[in-house]
Amino acid sequence: MEFEKVSLPRYRGSKLNKVKKIDMFPKLEDPYKMTSSVGGTFSIIGFFIIAWLLFSEISYYLNSKFVFTFEPDVELQEKLKINIDLTVAMPCGLVGTDVLDSTNQNTFKFGQLEEEDTWFELSENQQIHFENKKHFNSYLREEYHNIKDLLWKSSFSTHFGDLPSRDHIPDRPYDACRIYGSLILNKVAGNFHITAGKSISLPRGHIHISAFISDQEYNFTHRINKFSFGDPSPGIVHPLEGDELILTSAMTVVNYFIEVVPTTVKTFLNTISTYQYSVNELTRPINHDKGSHGIPGIYFKYDMSALRVKVSQERDHLGMFLARLCSIAGGIYVCSGKMFTYEELIFKTQQVQNS
């Protein structure tokens, strides 16, 4: 007799059985499972609680927070860009702008600001724009500490761009000068100023030639539409923007003491290195009899902070987030199950007592 060689796939049931033995999850036979309206109600309530908590947990996760830290500023090679747009109540021919910093560098290295003759009085559409900006900015300045987080979260950026152009051209001679543009400065303390007369650079400093008008014609009344450092970044408030100072005396020195704070803004998308500043204003009339000397003008005296502010957008770890989601869902599920059994027990006991 010949044997036919057949290779049958061997049944490996025995191994699977071993795995089955270590199953720790309780199994109920179908006949023992009971559905009831109380259980159903509990399931629905449990489900809603789970949904609500999950929803709030997810929205908490997505709503990233901002963390502020300080560290010494070590970016020495950086340049300080200053963005200016302001109007002085004197024709351009009579005023000059200049930057002097502690390096004593020739001021023309920093770039040139544009000058444009204009009228100090704003047209109606410009007035509305400027008033809005003024109110908004003064509100931000006052409430700054309370709404700081909100500012960053809403990625607030200045909604008010440049001043709109005039909708009505007055028919009188120009009485003001708009000075605007950007300069690239050294990252050291310095002084940007606007005084009477064009500046002339000399080997040992500079002078302003202002022989053409009398002192009494000076008027350094001004309006600041833009005054910021560095590249634009959301969340930063520029306290000088929307500032308007009407001077009643021709001989006045206006000092703005500005502390520039290097700021790194790190969001999920990119990193911006920019600057914030705080400012103090000091307006002083010149009276040589009373010992108050000086040259009338507007002086922006800036200094660099030695500390850098780092604002980083942070979010919890994804693993933590998932763990919290699971613990919420699981926790409520188990708790509602326990409560239901307890309820069921009372219900059953009552039934027994009644019968």
- Interface positions with ligand NAG (CB under 6 A): 89, 120, 219, 221, 246-250
Q: Least separation, in Å, of the C-beta of 174 and ligand NAG?
A: 12
CB 145, CB 44: distance < 8 Å = no
- For the chain, state the CA radius of gyration: 36
Q: Which residue is nearest to ligand NAG (CB)?
A: 219
> Which tokens sit at 3?
């044997």
Q: Least separation, in Å, of the C-beta of 172 and ligand NAG?
A: 12
Q: Least separation, in Å, of the C-beta of 221 and ligand NAG?
A: 4
Helix ranges (DSSP H) in the chain: 13-21, 37-62, 124-153, 318-354
The two beta strands, 176-185 and 114-118, are antiparallel
**Nearer residue to ligand NAG within complex by CB, 250 or 328:** 250
**Nearer residue to ligand NAG within complex by CB, 246 or 323:** 246
**Nearer residue to ligand NAG within complex by CB, 120 or 229:** 120
User: What is the dihedral angle through the alpha carbons of 96, 97, 100, 104, rounded to the nearest 10 degrees?
Assistant: -60
**Nearer residue to ligand NAG within complex by CB, 104 or 248:** 248
Task: Classify residue 304 by its DSSP letter.
Answer: E
Q: Least separation, in Å, of the C-beta of 282 and ligand NAG?
A: 18
**Nearer residue to ligand NAG within complex by CB, 250 or 329:** 250
Task: Classify residue 164 by its DSSP letter.
Answer: P
How far, in Å, CA of 296 to CA of 199, rounded?
Answer: 14
Residue 254 backbone class (left: φ over 0; alpha: ψ -120 to 50; beta: rest)? beta
How far, in Å, CA of 355 to CA of 344, rounded?
Answer: 17
The two beta strands, 307-314 and 65-72, are antiparallel
Q: Least separation, in Å, of the C-beta of 247 and ligand NAG?
A: 6
Q: Least separation, in Å, of the C-beta of 251 and ligand NAG?
A: 9
Q: Least separation, in Å, of the C-beta of 120 and ligand NAG?
A: 4
- Identity of the amino acid at 308: R
**Nearer residue to ligand NAG within complex by CB, 101 or 243:** 243
**Nearer residue to ligand NAG within complex by CB, 147 or 250:** 250
Please name which of 265, 303, 240, 199 lies closest in space to residue 83, comparing C-alpha atoms: 240
